[in-house]
Structures are given as structure tokens and as C-alpha cells.
Chains A and B, each alone.
Chain A
Amino acid sequence: MQVLYGRHHVRVFRFGLRLVRDEQIAEDLISEVFLDVWRQAGKFEGRSAVTTWLLAITRFKALSALRRRKDAELDDEAAHAIEDASDNPEVAVTKKDTGEALRKCLTALSAEHREIVDLVYYHEKSVEEVAEIVGIPENTVKTRLFYARKKLAELLKAAGVERGWP
């Protein structure tokens, strides 16, 4: 268990933190996730990668935590914060730094969009693995990421960053 924890706890923590946006809750999540792994090791069938299994458990627990916190309100606040920033004259300076603006907008995506972007780009999960983690059909995985990217482009545009797509 120590080896498993040592190898995967940072990724589990970061995935959870991006979903719940609260370090304390994310830390509690990883304890719960690995405790579940300890309890359910017998159910692991080895058909998928361990990280896929761990991320699926993390997602389930993070969503439960989010439901408790009614995090949807926080998503709205974050989106407004981005939109408000476009009216700020100082944005002209940050426009030069597309990377920084991109990171802010990645943070402002909805939880549903954040998780799919992170799973594909950061956790390097295939279409099939994302489908397994999120529990949706593979075609939905592809379209959901596409629309997450479109939303990202809209947020960037609102912040004054044009990238030539869409």
C-alpha cells in the first residue's frame, strides 16, 4: 500500500484538488480513496490501468464532496471573475501572456469540463479510459472535450485573447 500510495498520491491529490478546489478536502479525499483501494483490492480485476481505477474512485468521491458543498455556485463565481477581468484595463498587459490567461481560463471551466481536460492532457488517459472513469460513452467523451475546448476559447476571447480558433 505504501508503494501504491507513494507512486500515485500526488496525481490523485491534483485530480481531486482540481475538482473540489479546496486543499483540505482534497487531502481528505486521498485518504478516503486509498482506504477504499485497501478495502476493495479484491474487486480490482486488472482489466484497466491502476491509475484509471484510482481516478475513477477519486472522481466519485470528489463529486460526492462537491454535492455536499453545492460547488456549482463556485463555478459560476469563477466564470464571472473571468468575464469581469475582460473589462479591466490591466488585462491588456496579461494579453501578452497567453499562457497565463490560458491557465486562468482552465481554472474557470466547469467541473465537468475541467475533469475531462485534465484526464486527457495531464493524466494522459485514452478515450476508452476516460469513458471508464467518467462513466459515459466514448463518443460523448470526444464531444465533451471538444465543447470544453470551445468553452475555453470563449473564456479566452472574453479575456481578450484570440488564438485563431475557433
Chain B
Amino acid sequence: MMALSKKMLEQEPSEIEMLLPWHAAGTLNARDARRVEEALARDPDLARQYAVIREEYAETIGLNETLGAPSARAMQKLFAAIDAEPVRQPSALSSLSSRVAAFFAGLSPRTLAWSASLGAIALVLQAGVIGAVLVKNQSATYQTASLTADTRAAQQAPHALVRFAPEAKIADITALLDAYQASIVDSAREGMFRLQFGSKAMSKDEVASLMNRLQGEKIVSLAVPAQ
């Protein structure tokens, strides 16, 4: 297999090699994902190339996320154009609504469904732990809701967008959150979770080192710093 991937660079790429980017993105079917995993375990050259691909994958997401969003002008223009459209016949409207309903039926890719359920379970688990801690430490004192120094520091704690590997189990994820003193603060875009690490601000180097460690975790398929 090592010879195969080297040969590819001079000639044609192998089928497995061409599938690596989709494996990094988690969009392969189970059979192909297994084939790629097996090949990666056997072939160090292929594994090195996969590491390069994961870097490309993370930077492509990072680059796209910096592109911002369109202004309100685009939406105003769209809805003005729709308002100017000729009125549709009732039958057409009913057909339209059924088609729109069909859209939404097709909205959930497998990964989204998986992530959503996993995220929900993880959040429930976290809520349970937090609830248990609160009940245990409950006292009869009151606190004002002013912004304390601790709260401010917590707001500056590093955040990251993280995607867990499809084979990650809930137990693995909770162990990882524990090990990194991290908590899930939000489920961001498809399949990604926003994690907060600790409660204090970190230097740029510390954040970079944290991201490297995180990216090296077996159950993490992507970790990028977030605001």
C-alpha cells in the first residue's frame, strides 16, 4: 500500500487516495469509510497525506467562515422581486406548498441527524451533571446578577468549533470534555459544536497548542478556534 500511494504521485491516484477528502469531511458511506480507515492503518504515507488533507479541510472552513454574510439589501431585493411576480393560480400555489414541504423533507443529511441527536444527548448529560452539582451545593444565600471579574474572565475563555468523529461514543465525548475542562456551549453549523475551555483567557500560543492537542484526539475530526 505504501508503494501504491508513492506510485500514485507519479501516475494515477488510487481510489482510496481520492476518497481521503470525503473521509475528512465525514461524507463517505459506511463501507467506503471502513475501507479508508483500514488503508490508513496500513499505510503511513497515506496517513501523512490524510493529515495534510485535514489541514486543508480546517483552513477551507476557516476561510469560508471569514467571508461574512450578505447585507439586508439582498433580502429586500429578493422579496421586492417576489412581490412583483404575477399572482399564481390556486392549483399552482398548492403544488408549490407541497413542493416546499418536500424540500424540508430532504433537509436533513445523515450527518446532521446524527450530530443533532448526539448533541442533544450530550447537552442533556451536561445539564444533568450541572443540575446535580447545583443541587449538591445549594445554599440559602443570594447573589446579585452583576458582572463579576470571574464572569468576565469566563467570557474571554477560548472557544472552538469541534466536529466529533462519527464513531465517537457519548462516554468518549464526556471524557474528553472532562479532560479539557470543556463544556458544550452551543451546537453551531451542521455537525459542529461550540466548546468553551476552562474559565480563563489564554494566550495565542496556548490556544494554538490546545487546538493541536484537540486535533490529535482520535474522536475529534476537526477543531478550529472560534470567537
Q: Which residues of A contact B52 (CB under 8 A)?
A: 163-165
Q: Which of B36-74 contact A (CB under 8 A)?
A: 48-49, 52-53, 55-64, 67, 69-71, 73-74
Number of interface residues of A (CB under 8 A): 53
A149 touches B191 (CB 8 A): no
CA distance A119 to B62 in the complex (A): 14
In the complex, how many angstroms separate the beta carbon of B126 from the nearest chain A beta carbon? Answer: 26
Q: Tell me if A145 counts as interface (CB < 8 A to partner B).
A: yes
Residue from A1, A4, A31, A118 in contact with B64 in the complex, judged by beta carbons closer than 8 Å: A118
Q: Which residues of B contact A145 (CB under 8 A)?
A: 18, 21
A44 touches B64 (CB 8 A): no
Tell me if B's interface is mostly helix, strand, loop or mixed. Answer: helix
Q: Tell me if B155 counts as interface (CB < 8 A to partner A).
A: no
Tell me if A's interface is mostly helix, strand, loop or mixed. Answer: helix
A102 touches B59 (CB 8 A): yes
Selected interface stretch from A5-13, A59-67, A77-85? A5-13
Chain B, 71-102, contact with A by CB distance < 8 Å: what is the 0/1 string?
A: 10111011101100100000010011001101
**Max chain A CB contacts within 10 Å: which of B58, B96, B105?**
B96
A143 touches B18 (CB 8 A): yes
B25 touches A9 (CB 8 A): no
Q: Tell me if B107 counts as interface (CB < 8 A to partner A).
A: yes
CA distance A103 to B28 in the complex (A): 25
**Max chain A CB contacts within 10 Å: which of B49, B70, B106?**
B70
B22 touches A44 (CB 8 A): no
CA distance A120 to B64 in the complex (A): 12
B18 touches A146 (CB 8 A): yes
Q: Tell me if A41 counts as interface (CB < 8 A to partner B).
A: yes
Q: Mind listing 29 A-B residue pairs with CB under 8 Å?
A: A1-B79, A9-B75, A10-B70, A13-B74, A18-B67, A27-B71, A27-B74, A28-B77, A31-B78, A35-B78, A42-B96, A42-B99, A46-B106, A50-B104, A50-B107, A99-B55, A99-B58, A102-B55, A103-B59, A106-B56, A117-B56, A122-B64, A124-B25, A124-B109, A126-B27, A145-B21, A149-B53, A164-B48, A166-B9
Which residues of chain A have a CB within 8 Å of any CB of chain B?
A: 1, 4-5, 9-10, 13-14, 17-18, 23, 26-28, 30-31, 34-35, 38-39, 41-42, 44-50, 98-99, 102-103, 106-107, 117-118, 120-122, 124-127, 142-143, 145-146, 149, 152, 163-166
